[in-house]
Structure 1
């Protein structure tokens, strides 16, 4: 299995994203894809994530990290087949291939910003600057609530992925507003692909409800995953996946056997 075969098997072609969409992703560093999830899918995801949050309690999110002021979950691919769409949707995969070339799953997490919380410093999801075109990580936000101006919608600085700098190198306090930042305002069911080297961060949720989303990230195949799929893969997960899906997770039958031993 190689990248081209995996993408073909998952129905990704050169035309899955238009030239205009690819140009926007290159220029701005983010691309909203409306209507990826139906209202029924959004409701089902929110219900399942609520069940998992309640079941995991204080351990929720520990596989990757926890965050004060937000409810987080990690290792979602192993926790329900319903999450498979997040790492197999052709339009999302087309964006990842455009940004990264050969890639694999980095992690799938959820984040619910609580009322009165959620403000993050502007940051990139990679610890050092990279030159334009040498990108290592690309993310996607799966909106499970409408993202509005007052409920903690993610802010981004368009084009900042091309600056080869981190926010802390340019800003006295990356928690401050940037003069060129915009908020990602869109209805639930939208997926926003964004280059992880783009400066971004959550904003304050001043509403009276959590603001919920999933984050499906991918990385180049030579990079260590945020969640080591080889260490976490369950036999039930492996057995349901196609060869192309296993390739994206970067897991083999030997990994399953090693975990079981």
Structure 2
């Protein structure tokens, strides 16, 4: 199996993304893809995430990261076949291929910002500056609620992935608002692709309900994963996946 074969088997063709969409991703560093999930699929995913959050309790998210004021879950690859769409959808994979070239899933997590919580400093997921065009990581936010200015929609600084700097290099306090920032508003079922070198961060949820999302995070194939998929992969998970999906996860046979 190789990248080209895996993408072909998962339905990625040259016309899955338009040239205008690729240009927007290159220019702005983010691209909303509307209608990736139906409302029924959104509801099903939210139900499963609620069940997992209740079952895991204070252990929820420990595989990768816990964050005060949010519900986080990690290792979702192993926790329900419903999450497979997050590393198998042709439009999402085409975007990852466009940004990264040869890529693999780094982690599949969820984040729900509680009312009054969720604000983050602006940051880039790489943790270090990169030369424009030499991108290492790319993320996708799967909107499981409508993202609005009131409920903590992610803020981004368009084009900042091409600056070759980090927010702390230019801002006295990256937790502050940036004059060029915008919020990623969208309907539930939308997936927003964003170059992870783009300056971004969550904002405060000023509503009375959690603001829920999945994060399907990808990296170039030579880089370590945020969650080592080979270490965590379960036999039942491996057996239900196709060879192309296994390639995207970078996992090999398991006993």
Once residues 204 and 80 of structure 1 are traced to their aligned partners in structure 2, the CA distance between those partners, rounded to angstroms, is: 29
- Tell me how far 1:230 sits from its aligned partner: 0.8
- Tell me how far 1:26 sits from its aligned partner: 0.1
In the superposition, the TM-score normalised over structure 1's length comes to 0.97
- Tell me how far 1:127 sits from its aligned partner: 1.4
- Tell me how far 1:81 sits from its aligned partner: 0.4
Once residues 248 and 46 of structure 1 are traced to their aligned partners in structure 2, the CA distance between those partners, rounded to angstroms, is: 24
Could you say which residue in structure 1 is the equivalent of 2:38? 38
Structure 1 unpaired stretches of 5+: none
Once residues 42 and 13 of structure 1 are traced to their aligned partners in structure 2, the CA distance between those partners, rounded to angstroms, is: 26
Could you say which residue in structure 1 is the equivalent of 2:4? 4
Once residues 38 and 242 of structure 1 are traced to their aligned partners in structure 2, the CA distance between those partners, rounded to angstroms, is: 23
Query: What SS is found at the alignment partner of 2:31?
Result: strand
Once residues 97 and 23 of structure 1 are traced to their aligned partners in structure 2, the CA distance between those partners, rounded to angstroms, is: 14
Once residues 163 and 21 of structure 1 are traced to their aligned partners in structure 2, the CA distance between those partners, rounded to angstroms, is: 21
1:79 pairs with 2:79: yes
Could you say which residue in structure 1 is the equivalent of 2:110? 110
Query: What SS is found at the alignment partner of 1:193?
Result: strand
Once residues 46 and 238 of structure 1 are traced to their aligned partners in structure 2, the CA distance between those partners, rounded to angstroms, is: 24
Could you say which residue in structure 2 is the equivalent of 1:13? 13
In the superposition, the TM-score normalised over structure 2's length comes to 0.99
Once residues 136 and 5 of structure 1 are traced to their aligned partners in structure 2, the CA distance between those partners, rounded to angstroms, is: 22
Could you say which residue in structure 2 is the equivalent of 1:128? 128
Could you say which residue in structure 1 is the equivalent of 2:22? 22
Structure 2 unpaired stretches of 5+: none
Could you say which residue in structure 1 is the equivalent of 2:66? 66
Once residues 242 and 209 of structure 2 are traced to their aligned partners in structure 1, the CA distance between those partners, rounded to angstroms, is: 38
- Mapping 1:170-181, distance limit 5 Å: 170-181=170-181
- Mapping 1:139-178, distance limit 5 Å: 139-178=139-178
